[in-house]
Amino acid sequence: MPTLIHFRKNCIGCNSCVEHAPEHWKIAGQDGKSDLQGGEEKNGVFVKKIHASEKGANELAARDCPVKIIKVFK
Ligand code: SF4
């Protein structure tokens, strides 16, 4: 299963990832940064396994993130 990784502390809240994959990303009300929905935190980095069918949309999110803090691994 592919793995999504989010280095959340550097998020600038641009909403691009939400537009690409709204089932995985949501802007948090309290600080305006994006939350990886269902992500598990490890030392401030959020990690989540996704289905292969969800990889494409998240690769676009990673590509278009202006601060390059989304990674998608096989
Ligand atoms: S695209 Fe990147 S900077 Fe923009 S909200 Fe998503 S994670 Fe944050």
Tell me, what CATH number does 52's domain have?
3.30.70.20
Which ligand 1 atom sits closest to the C-alpha of 11?
Answer: 8
Question: CA–CA distance from 3 to each of 14, 17, 31, 32, 51 (Å)?
Answer: 22, 15, 25, 24, 9
**Separation of CA 13 and ligand 1 centre (Å):** 5
| Spatial distance between the Cα atoms of 48 and 3, rounded to a whole number of angstroms | 6
Q: What is the pLDDT of residue 27?
A: 98
- Residue pLDDT, tens place only, 5-54: 999 999 999 999 999 999 999 999 999 999 999 999 999 999 999 999 99
Boundaries of domain holding 62: 3-73
Q: How many domains does the chain have?
A: 1
pTM of the complete model? 0.96
- The reported pLDDT for the residue numbered 12 is 98
What is the pLDDT, as a whole number, of residue 52?
97
pLDDT confidence of residue 1: 92
